[in-house]
Amino acid sequence: MKIENIDEPVRILNSNVDVKSVIREIAQDVNQEEAFYVCHLDEIVQKHRIWESRMPRVEPHYAVKCNDNITVLEVLAALGTSFDCASKVEIAKVLSVGVSTDRIIFANPAKPASHVRYAASVGVATMTFDNESELYKIQNLYPNARLVIRIRCDAVDAQCPLGMKFGCDPVKDAPYLLDIAKSLNLNVVGVSFHVGSGCREATVFHRAISFCKDLFNYADNLGYCFTLLDIGGGYPGVRGSSIDEIANVVNDALDIFFPDPSIQIIAEPGRFYVTSAYTLTCNIHSIRNVGNREDGSRKMHKMYYINDGVYGSFNCILYDHQVVKPQPLRDYVGTKKYSSSIWGPTCDGLDQVIEDVVLPEMNIGDWIVFEDMGAYTLPVASPFNGFPIPKVHYIASESVWNMLKDVVTMSEDSFKMMDGSMSKKLESANNRYNYSDIPATIELPHYNQKVVAGDHLLNYINISLIE
């Protein structure tokens, strides 16, 4: 498991403060040199609202692999999502934030035995399979598990196809596997698929759901009574993207093939929830000019070296096929523009973030912002060559905090009231806290003159508005 980057509380901002202002505030600190993230928790809350409004029948099981940060898991758990875990460590992490076992699907069709044993020991019963050996393993280690057969149905175009590795053929293999499961007396409860991460063909969901219906019928004839349909991941999450097209296809297909409301429909969205919540800001520490500056006969190309690269957050370029977009933090009005490339900090020539982009002339110490960096970045990043993984600054609006405060299990230290100015402090007297820009008094619980610290503390904080 990755070591968490949370070493400071979630900052609660007044509604006028946007991510860019927070980034500017952090970047202008003279001591700030490392790359850093700002994660706006409101984005995650907003995504959940969108999900609920577009696919009300489909229960999201957040795919932990996408971003396993504990604050993200806390917020999603508080919102009521369930979880898709790929390993025992992910299961343990989700359980640690107070999620009950029936809100977890172990959605890895090829599981190491020790992970199945762990799932059995904690009672995470729902798990996927797509091959015969897995059935024998589960019969041996967790015979009462609730099994979900994963079929293959690939989108014609996806950012990261998965079908070459997972999912049995729904026509040629799935009936055979169900026969075996039945002969082993295993409890198969439904069907799942994943059309590919970053799906670019909405209609694939219709095809896949139709295959699932055929397998529900087949299972019926075998004497099973399937109750679960898992429509996997594939939903976009970058700013400006929409799940509407996919949602329309899914909702129509559910109406056609699964009109029975007693069938539980779940999905495993990952990038949808977190991509847009995270913005990365990197510092330029070196610049190389290539080309002839004197006579202008050759175009000058500028190579900017920044303090995060493909071994860190930008691993998403290699593994997740992401195209990242640099935005200089400062305004460069009237500054000459150059063909430029951006490079990571390590000594590997592979460590290139952007090959060719036109950018205004920037200087050492300037900052470059990258939006949409919340998915498949931090959980995969390594500190290769000794360059640290960027720290994350968490922010949330007051309204979101007010909504979450009674349900998250984070401790008192996890939150701090702020406005745009990150340096302002709460004024406190005894255990009552007043914040000048926010008309509220926060009262922390205390015992024998000491503020009570520890888990679940937010459950006991009183906030009263000052008239």
Complex with ligand PLP: residue 233 or 326, whichever CB lies closer: 233
Complex with ligand PLP: residue 74 or 268, whichever CB lies closer: 268
Shortest distance in whole angstroms from residue 252 CB to ligand PLP: 20
From the candidates 212, 225, 282, 347, which is the catalytic residue? 347
Report the alpha-carbon distance of residue 438 to residue 417 in Å, rounded. Answer: 9
Site string for ligand PLP, 423-452 (x = CB under 6 A): ------------------------------
- Residue of 167, 175, 190, 270 interacting with ligand PLP (CB under 6 A): 270
- If one asks whether residue 233 binds ligand PLP (CB under 6 A), the answer comes out as yes
- If one asks whether residue 60 binds ligand PLP (CB under 6 A), the answer comes out as no
- If one asks whether residue 194 binds ligand PLP (CB under 6 A), the answer comes out as yes
Give the pair of three-digit tokens for residue 134: 């897995």
- Residue of 22, 39, 45, 107 interacting with ligand PLP (CB under 6 A): 107
- If one asks whether residue 48 binds ligand PLP (CB under 6 A), the answer comes out as no
- Residue of 269, 309, 344, 374 interacting with ligand PLP (CB under 6 A): 269
- If one asks whether residue 190 binds ligand PLP (CB under 6 A), the answer comes out as no
Report the alpha-carbon distance of residue 272 to residue 198 in Å, rounded. Answer: 9
Give the pair of three-digit tokens for residue 305: 């070296």
Residue at shortest CB range from ligand PLP:
233
**66 has catalytic annotation:** no
Complex with ligand PLP: residue 236 or 344, whichever CB lies closer: 236
- If one asks whether residue 41 binds ligand PLP (CB under 6 A), the answer comes out as no
From 37-45, 173-181, 228-236, 399-407, span contacting ligand PLP (CB under 6 A): 228-236
- If one asks whether residue 234 binds ligand PLP (CB under 6 A), the answer comes out as yes
Residues taking part in catalysis: 347
Residues that bind ligand PLP (CB under 6 A): 63, 66, 84, 107, 162, 194, 197-198, 232-235, 268-272
